[in-house]
């Protein structure tokens, strides 16, 4: 069953969108990818990739901006700086911007492309595991605001996405883990068959087995495709993909973004599962089964201690909250995630303290 699901995927994934249809093209030859960029494109590239790409790109005479990637670039200050640079190099309405980098470069460039001349074309070449398995599709753009994660943004998908798996050879172990952490939430939300696939291939993925990573990336995108095509603007089914994210974003905030997004999300999933267990939505066995997989994924990055009140405070500021309550995605089992509005944070505070005590006892 597992391999059947993994092998079904083609070399192209088409996404139907109310904004514009677009596609993900899997292409491992970077020179071939370059041929798809219009001659007057401006390339905005993660500075970490400069050495690797400079020679190849130089032949093409594109205008290039290099950016040091980090969560901090998702800011108004950086938007201001980049837009000034784009104006200086005479970007016009017909210019295509090409983003080459991970999720932070994507969120920044997508947002800028959406507001520049009320929207210019952009292409994305995701270069981290997280951006290849998740963020490259779905069309969300996000900027952090006064420390609140992804507070501002809109929907503005790229015209095309080129996934080149060779980029993944150089990502750090932490970013590999972060990518797998982010990826895991699709497999848990999808249901038991997909969870078992993820569980089975996790060890090989952590050991950088390229053939395995390629397959699980494609499956991950296929799961996300189903959700975003049904509910592109996050009103119904897609909300469930926020599983692990409310806690995850709060963890990022209280650690001043020192914990990578995907690692925060995987920890957030475990806390959401524990909360579900304590609220009697799942049994201890169900919690343990998921906890075991997340343990193997997170290893020493499992967050065992945090400032509970700060976490609650950050949760209260989450953009998904409605009318003063904290909106969480909890679970009644694999594939059975649901929205739960928590009106009384004291109960949640007790659960979070219990969570940390339980981990400390282990
Ligand atoms: N728009 C969306 O739908 C969406 C979805 C999920 C996550 N996100 C956002 O994505 C961001 C996280 O993305 P990320 O994990 O890609 O982080 P990132 O862009 O900061 O990249 C992580 C690190 O990897 C480096 N890097 C990039 N490509 C590399 C390569 N090929 N080899 C070696 N190093 C490389 C970067 O320089 C950086 O140091 C978060 O801000 C998150 O909120 C957005």
In angstroms, the Cα distances linking 106 to 134, 138, 156, 275 are 12, 12, 11, 32
Please indicate, yes or no, whether residues 163 and 185 belong to a single structural domain of this protein: no
Q: Give the β-pairing of 148-155 and 140-145.
A: antiparallel
Question: Exposed, middle or buried, 9 (CB in 10 Å: 0-12/13-18/19+)?
Answer: middle
pLDDT recorded at residue 62: 94
Confidence at 243, pLDDT banded by 50, 70, 90: very high
Whose CA is closest to 98, among 113, 87, 111, 88?
A: 113
The single-letter DSSP state of residue 237 is: G
Closest C-alpha to ligand 1, atom 34: 171
Q: Which of 151, 170, 189 is the last residue of a domain?
A: 170
Q: What tens digit of pLDDT does each residue of 202-218 get?
A: 999 999 999 999 999 99
pLDDT recorded at residue 9: 63
Q: What tens digit of pLDDT does each residue of 56-74 get?
A: 998 888 999 999 999 999 9
Looking from the CA of residue 138, the nearest atom of ligand 1 is 3
What does the pLDDT average to over 231-248? 96
Confidence at 330, pLDDT banded by 50, 70, 90: very high
User: Is 157 within a domain?
Assistant: yes
Q: What tens digit of pLDDT does each residue of 255-302 get?
A: 999 999 999 999 999 999 999 999 999 999 999 999 999 999 999 999
Kindly report the average pLDDT of the chain as a whole number.
Answer: 95
What does the pLDDT average to over 74-88? 96
Confidence at 1, pLDDT banded by 50, 70, 90: very low
Closest C-alpha to ligand 1, atom 43: 261
Prediction pTM value: 0.96
Q: Does residue 245 sit in helix, strand or coil?
A: helix
What domain count does the chain have?
Answer: 2
What does the pLDDT average to over 154-162? 98
Percent of the chain with pLDDT over 70: 98
Q: What tens digit of pLDDT does each residue of 86-122 get?
A: 999 989 999 999 999 999 999 999 999 999 999 999 9
User: Is 5 within a domain?
Assistant: no
Please indicate, yes or no, whether residues 193 and 131 belong to a single structural domain of this protein: no
Ramachandran class of 330: left when φ > 0, alpha when ψ lies in -120 to 50, beta otherwise: beta
pLDDT recorded at residue 151: 92
What does the pLDDT average to over 127-151? 95
Please indicate, yes or no, whether residues 115 and 184 belong to a single structural domain of this protein: no
Please indicate, yes or no, whether residues 205 and 345 belong to a single structural domain of this protein: yes
Please indicate, yes or no, whether residues 166 and 183 belong to a single structural domain of this protein: no
Assign residue 333 the CATH number of its domain: 1.20.1090.10
The single-letter DSSP state of residue 72 is: G
| Residues 355 and 271 sit within 8 Å (Cβ to Cβ) | yes
Residues in contact with ligand 1 by the CB-under-6-Å rule are 46, 48-49, 69-71, 74, 101-107, 127-128, 130-131, 134-135, 138, 140, 142, 150, 167, 170-171, 175, 178, 260-262
User: Is 4 within a domain?
Assistant: no
Assign residue 134 the CATH number of its domain: 3.40.50.1970
Tokens describing residue 178: 């972060």
């Amino acid at each position: 069953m597992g391999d059947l699901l993994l092998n079904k995927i083609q070399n192209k994934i088409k996404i139907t969108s109310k904004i514009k249809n677009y596609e993900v093209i899997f292409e491992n030859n970077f020179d071939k990818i370059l041929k798809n960029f219009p001659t007057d494109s401006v390339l905005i590239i993660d500075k970490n990739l400069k050495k690797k790409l400079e020679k190849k790109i130089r032949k093409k005479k594109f205008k290039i901006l290099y950016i040091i990637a980090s969560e901090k670039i998702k800011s108004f200050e950086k938007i201001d700086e980049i837009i000034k640079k784009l104006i200086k190099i005479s970007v016009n309405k017909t210019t295509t911007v090409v983003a080459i980098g991970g999720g932070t470069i994507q969120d920044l460039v997508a947002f800028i492309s959406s507001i520049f001349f009320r929207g210019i074309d952009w292409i994305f070449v995701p270069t981290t595991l997280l951006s290849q398995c998740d963020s490259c599709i779905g069309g969300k753009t996000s900027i952090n605001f006064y420390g609140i994660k992804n507070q501002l943004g809109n929907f503005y998908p790229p015209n095309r996405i080129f996934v080149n798996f060779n980029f993944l050879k150089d990502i750090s172990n932490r970013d590999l883990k972060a990518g797998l952490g982010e990826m895991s939430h699709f497999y848990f939300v999808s249901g038991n068959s997909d969870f078992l696939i993820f569980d089975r291939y996790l060890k090989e993925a952590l050991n950088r087995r390229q053939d395995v990573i390629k397959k699980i990336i494609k499956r991950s995108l296929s799961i996300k495709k189903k959700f975003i095509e049904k509910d592109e603007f996050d009103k119904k089914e897609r909300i469930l993909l926020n599983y692990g994210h409310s806690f995850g974003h709060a963890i990022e905030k209280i650690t001043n973004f020192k914990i990578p997004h995907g690692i925060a999300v995987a920890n957030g999933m475990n806390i959401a599962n524990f909360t579900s267990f304590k609220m009697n939505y799942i049994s201890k066995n169900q919690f343990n089964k998921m906890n075991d997989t997340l343990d193997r994924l997170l290893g020493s990055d499992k967050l065992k201690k945090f400032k509970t009140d700060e976490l609650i405070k950050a949760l209260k500021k989450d953009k998904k909250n409605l009318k003063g309550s904290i909106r969480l995605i909890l679970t009644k089992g694999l594939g059975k995630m649901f929205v739960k509005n928590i009106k009384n944070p004291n109960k949640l505070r007790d659960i979070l303290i219990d969570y940390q005590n339980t981990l400390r006892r282990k």
